[in-house]
Chain A
Amino acid sequence: MASQRSLPSAPGGAGTRYRDLLLRGGPFIALVILCVFLSMATPHFATLDNMFNITRQSAFTAILAVGQTFVILTGGIDLSVAAVAALSACVTTVLLTTPLVLFGYDFGILPAPLAIAIGLGVGCACGALNGWIIARFKIPDFIATLGTMTVLRGVALIVTDGLPVPSFQSMSSGAALPSALIQAGSGSVLGIPISAIIALIVALAGFYILRYRALGRAIFAVGGNREAARVAGIDIGRTKIMAYMISGLTAAIAGLIMVGRLNSANALMADGEELRSIAAVVIGGTNLFGGEGGVIGSLVGAVIIGVLNNGLNLLNVSPFWQRIVQGLVIVLVVIFDQWRRRKTAGGN
């Protein structure tokens, strides 16, 4: 004791550093453990092909989760991401396969870059709408996006007439989706799925904004303590709206990638993906109440969900049980996270 006491109170020895790493790198460690377990459990897991397979499957959730992270960091939640993804996908594919007629003027089939840009624009606009409703009318985020989620699915149904796009009708008239879109969803370079590369780029862009731009800091401040952000002169409404716009944009990107993978879009696609994106964010260590976390964790969270899915399939677990296991994993990870937070806060 005495010898310990005479030490200067240097912050942390080697022991605390390892503990810090363990407490912070939780999601990543969980992923490693999961992978080690699965590669021992089945020989089909640790193959290069399967790895690419997993990244391809995780890309969609990962991209959604990046935008979702922005929203959750502000203390909000975006339930409309899957609906936005579907609507953007539908708008783009419809513009690519049926002639656009506006005010009696026939624009014909739009060129692919324009149609894609419009799809992405629709995503941003939906996000802006979410943010505006929440900021302007002071409605809880949960309620507002629950509403827009339903509305946007309806809009998508109207846009597509409830049919898959490209429809049999448009296909018979020779319409097809541009190859760039198909490549984005199912192509690969050097074996690496392009969708995974896009997901990585989106995540890095998100990381960059959060770490190096005023918006990122404002998002952490608003989610961490809204009142303090206000006193510091931060425009809370604008910050919220921008976070939701980013979420809308990433949802649109994800929607287009799914189109490329499925070679088709429909108004009800990506059903339930909003919850999966939230799960990825929470598994990735972002605080559901805002102010703490980041996109890299969410990326890891999305991969954890992908690995889990893949592993359960390889192990021939029945789809019914898969759901149970996935749900349990989410709860366990959050319990661990709570425990971790209490530990770092010094409580018992």
Chain B
Amino acid sequence: MTATVLRPSAAPPAGAPVLLRLESIEKAFVGVRALKGVSLELLAGEVQMLLGENGAGKSTLMKILAGEYAPTAGRIVVRGREVAGLTPDSAKALGIGLIHQELSLVPALSVAENICLGRMPTNRFGQIDWKRAHELAAEAVGRLGVAIDPGAEVGRLQIAEQQLVEIARVLEWNPEILLLDEPTSALSDAERERLFAVIRRLKERGVGMIYISHHLAEIPMIADRVTVLRDGSVVGTILPDEADEDRCISMMVGRSLEDQFPKPVVAKGAPALEVAGLSAGKTLQDLSFTLHQGEILGIFGLMGAGQEEVAAALFGLQKSRGRIRINGQDRGIRTPADAIAQGLGLLTRDRRQSLVPMLTVGPNLSLPWLSNRSPWSALQHRRESEEVQRYIADLKIRPATTTTPVRFYSGGNQQKVILARWMSSGASILVFDEPTRGIDVGAKADVFALMGDLVQRGMSVLMISSELNELIGMADRVLVMRGGRVSAELGRHELSQEALLRHAS
């Protein structure tokens, strides 16, 4: 096997004990071999970054360690002792905590209930001590440097807040082996910094961490070692100084990547979407902008700056005030069906808001075709299968089958399915809310290339993103938001990390 030959020896932190050792872990699902003999070692006090393309098997490996999936073969050794037949409870007893990629919170319960689930503090009479529970929850999220109302229903929180609650919930019981599956995919830089501060503290306490991310820029910030997974096998483990972007990408993808941000030059066309005085929800106040044909307009803001509500307000998912003009005509958009009829498309920041998990790629891709149509109209099976074939090829959606329900797809591949939906929908104004959340570097480049194609065909893209480099790479203009309002508008030549952050905070 090339996998073992390729592995260079990376120096572990001096003398640290081995917390966890995986030997030849294999996992087969019906029809897919997700892991083909993965071996790795995790030391105490180490952050081991796990990289890999979408569908490489990262999340599957984490779920096996957390006792959620049973491995098909292989040994798991925790602190020198082999553990067989892990269950979620026994994994927890061994001190293994998993922060899930697809958050594992109960949306109908409050923040406090989610954080204290199963360990609700009680008073002398055995009754739940709500005051104490709320205090605990507030403390737990407070350690991440944010304030989230412990009584708030989790399902109503922003996705970034949900992600923080998920992190707090796991950290709350002090696991010694911490698995973080894309914890920063929904966070902006400020929250990420605070999470990293927490991770550094945990390192000092000797906690071993496996940290999964598609942000290669995070490697120098926290990684002690970098392990790359490709197609269910370990390609190698290297040190952060060897792990420059090109090296990581070629290890992950098996080839090198030419241009990450293929930005075509497109002449700005007529105004496509004009928004005046849009306000909605708790934070968004008085937003005005014009999006032109052939333009990529970025919106940037830190958590709570109002950019989270823009998409929902534009798409009729949330009550809003203000004027919306599309192609020069006033349009009232009260429901998503109205928005779709006006040629809008929305990629939600939370994929669970877009996908029907038990349906396959085809029905998920063609779902908006049903809007504004008679219930008795025929389904377009032929067009559907053509589009599916096309986007499976263009976006490299894996597995490349048309019979697997999308809930069995890796997170990044699910994201690609939603992208394919709006690209094939014929919508001319696309609202992309965190379009690259959870997708790998190769796929990101593919998505940006497709975005370039779209604007070249005269469509417009509103790109709401917390990824500075992506905005800088792709946007023609960026609106920076602060406190629910636009604090600055930066043209393409004025875009820089410093400028964006300065106006945002």
Task: Please list the residues of chain A having a beta carbon within 8 angstroms of any beta carbon in chain B.
Answer: 1-2, 5, 9, 11-12, 16, 19-20, 23, 211-218, 220-221, 224-225, 227-235, 238-239, 242, 287, 291-292, 343-348
Contact = CB atoms under 8 A, between A and B. Distances in A.
Given A233-B340, A346-B69, A239 B375 contact: yes
Closest 10 CB pairs of A and B: A233-B371, A348-B70, A215-B375, A224-B356, A232-B367, A233-B337, A12-B31, A11-B31, A233-B340, A233-B336
Contacts of B367: 217, 221, 228-229, 232, 234
Given A213-B377, A213-B379, A217-B363, A234 B371 contact: yes
Given A213-B376, A213-B379, A348-B87, A232 B352 contact: no
A278 B348 CA distance: 35
Interface of B: 1, 27, 29-33, 36-37, 60, 67-70, 85, 87, 231-232, 315, 317, 335-337, 339-341, 346, 348, 352-359, 363, 366-368, 370-379, 381, 399, 401, 407-408
Nearest to A219: B375
B355 A217 contact: no
A225 B370 contact: no
Contacts of A347: 68-70
Contact of B32 (A1, A9, A220): A9
- Name the prevailing secondary structure of the B interface residues: loop
Given A20-B30, A232-B354, 6 more contacts: A213-B376, A220-B359, A227-B352, A230-B336, A232-B370, A233-B368
Contacts of A16: 30-31
Contacts of B36: 5, 9
Contacts of B346: 231
Given A231-B348, A233-B336, A292 B377 contact: no
B355 A228 contact: yes
A234 B357 contact: no
A287 to B, nearest CB: 8
Contacts of A23: 30
B353 A218 contact: no
A238 B340 contact: no
B1 A5 contact: yes
B68 to A, nearest CB: 7
B346 to A, nearest CB: 7
A135 to B, nearest CB: 14
A12 to B, nearest CB: 4
9 contacts: A5-B1, A12-B31, A213-B375, A221-B363, A230-B317, A234-B371, A235-B337, A239-B375, A291-B356
Contacts of A343: 30
Contacts of A213: 375-379
Contacts of B69: 346-348
Given A218-B375, A220-B359, A225 B33 contact: no
B266 to A, nearest CB: 28
Contacts of A214: 370, 373-379
Contacts of B356: 220-221, 224-225, 228-229, 291
Contact of A233 (B27, B70, B357, B370): B370
A11 B31 CA distance: 4
Nearest to A346: B29
A227 B69 CA distance: 28
Contacts of A19: 30
A24 to B, nearest CB: 10
A325 to B, nearest CB: 32
B399 A11 contact: yes
A247 to B, nearest CB: 15
A12 B399 CA distance: 12
B375 A242 contact: yes
B230 to A, nearest CB: 12
Given A214-B377, A230-B317, A347-B69, A9 B359 contact: no
Contact of B358 (A9, A230, A239, A291): A291
A2 B377 CA distance: 53
B485 to A, nearest CB: 26
Contact of A5 (B27, B37, B370): B37
A3 to B, nearest CB: 12
A11 B231 CA distance: 14
Nearest to A9: B33
